[in-house]
Amino acid sequence: MSATVIDGFSVAASVRARVAAEVAALKAGGVIPCLAVVLVGENPASVSYVAGKEKALAEVGMADRSYRLPGTVSEAELLALISSLNADPSVHGILVQLPLPRHIDEARVIMAIDPEKDVDGFHPVSVGNLVIDRPGFLPCTPHGVIALLREAGINTRGAHAVVVGRSNIVGKPLALLLARRECNATVTICHTGTVDLPSITRQADILVAAVGSPRMITADMIKPGAAVIDVGVNRVEDPTAKNGFRLVGDVDFLPACEVASFITPVPRGVGPMTIAMLMQNTLQAAKNR
C-alpha cells in the first residue's frame, strides 16, 4: 500500500481563491476586509508565520494592518493597542501571534480581543460557541483539518478518530469538531497520561498527530488503511540543508506512507490550511459587520 498524499497547499490555494472573489465583491460595495496582525518580539517561527499571513492578505485583496512590537513591550501597552483595534470599525479581525514573551499573560491578551474580531477562534466566547454548536469563529488549524478531510473524500461518519494531543489550539477543538453531527465521528483523545498509546492509535480510522514531537508516530502505530493527519511542525538538524535544519512532522512520514491510505505531508499539508482558514474567518468577520 502507498498512501495518497493530501496536498494542503493546493487545497489552501482553492480556499484563498474563493475568499478573494468574495473580498472583491465586498470591496465593490465599499467594504474592505481588514486584519490586524500583532507580533511581539522576534521569535523566528512567529516571524515566518506572520510573513505568510501578510502574503495571503495581499493575495486575497484584504487590508493588512500589521504591528511589530519589541519583545520588551509591556502588557499594558499591548492591551491598550488591542483596545484601540477593538474600537476601530475599519478593522474586522485581530490576531495576536502566539507565543508571547513570558512577562505577558497570554490568557489576558486573548480575553481582551473583541469576540466579534476573534478570527483566531481562541476567545472563551468562540470556544463556548464551538462546544454548544452555535455559529462563531472556528480555530483555524482544526477547521483546516476538517476541510482537508472533506476535500480528500475521507468518510468521517461512524469513523473512529484518534487525536493525539490535547492543546487548546488544536487537540481539544479538533476533537469537538470531529464529534459534531456534520462529521459524526467517534473521538478518542490521547495525551501524556495515555497508557499504551500504540494500542489506541492502531484502532484509528482517522489518526491526527498534534503533539510537537518529531516522528513520534511510527508506522507500527498506524492501522492499515487509516487516514493520517500530521499537524506537527518540528525543526530537526540537517547539515545538508542550506539553513542547517529541515521541517518534519509528528509522523514518521515515509514508513507511514506504506501503511496509511491517506496522509498529509510536512510541509505543504495542514500548515497552508491554517492561513487559508484565517482568511476565511476574516472575510466572515467583515461580512458580519
Catalytic residue annotation: 53, 97, 120
Q: Which residues contact 75 (CB under 8 A, 6 or more apart)?
A: 103, 104, 105, 108, 109
**Cell numbers for 188:** 478518542
Phi, psi of 2 (to 5 degrees): -130, 125
Residues pairing with 66 in the sheet: 37
> In the 8-state DSSP scheme, what is residue 165?
-
Count of other CB atoms within 10 angstroms of residue 75: 15
Q: Which of 212, 92, 218, 204 is nearest to 159 (CA)?
A: 204
Burial (CB < 10 A; 0-12, 13-18, 19+), residue 278, is buried
